[in-house]
Amino acid sequence: MVVFVIGSITNALNGTAGAGTPTAAVATSPTPSPTVVPAQSPTITESATPLPSAPEPAPTAAPPADPTQTTTGLTGTFAQSACDQEGQRLFEFGWNPAFIFGLLGESIDGANYFMKFTAEVTNESNAEREVTVECTVTGTNDAPVIVSFFAY
């Protein structure tokens, strides 16, 4: 609502602005009507027919996991053991492989298990040196065979 007053407030409330001068028009907005909600009919019933459900999606195959053994059944544990025994044989004065924290890489290629890791070796003069070892093993868990062993 907007009110324009010309003259005193008292005269505006009385409808005069003094000396018989009428006040300005007062604009008001109409009162909104209440929203009417129609009543529900008790005679109308909804059907209890279930909606058709979407067809279940076909199960998808899981992606192939990384191989954990060679095609001949050789696992990493036995390949590591074979590499460790070869290192002890070659570095008889001191061999300390770092298979966990020094593991630089490992892979399986068909029947071969390849490992690259660091090791600390000692020579006959008791001098120690850290080397990188590349070891490839084939065979089975019962009979692993060293294919190559390089320490540099």
- By CB atoms closer than 10 A (0-12, 13-18, 19+), residue 149 is middle
Q: Looking at the whole model, is its pTM more than 0.75?
A: no
pLDDT digits (tens, 9 = 90+) for 31-81: 666 666 666 666 666 666 666 777 777 777 766 656 789 999 999 999 999
Tell me which DSSP letter residue 71 carries: T
Q: Look at phi and psi of residue 24 and say left if phi exceeds 0, alpha if psi is from -120 to 50, else beta.
A: beta
In terms of average pLDDT, the best of 22-31, 36-45, 117-126 is: 117-126
Q: How confident is the model at residue 24 (pLDDT cuts 50, 70, 90)?
A: low
- By CB atoms closer than 10 A (0-12, 13-18, 19+), residue 80 is buried
pLDDT digits (tens, 9 = 90+) for 128-141: 999 999 999 999 99
State the pLDDT at residue 119: 98
State the pLDDT at residue 56: 77
State the pLDDT at residue 139: 96
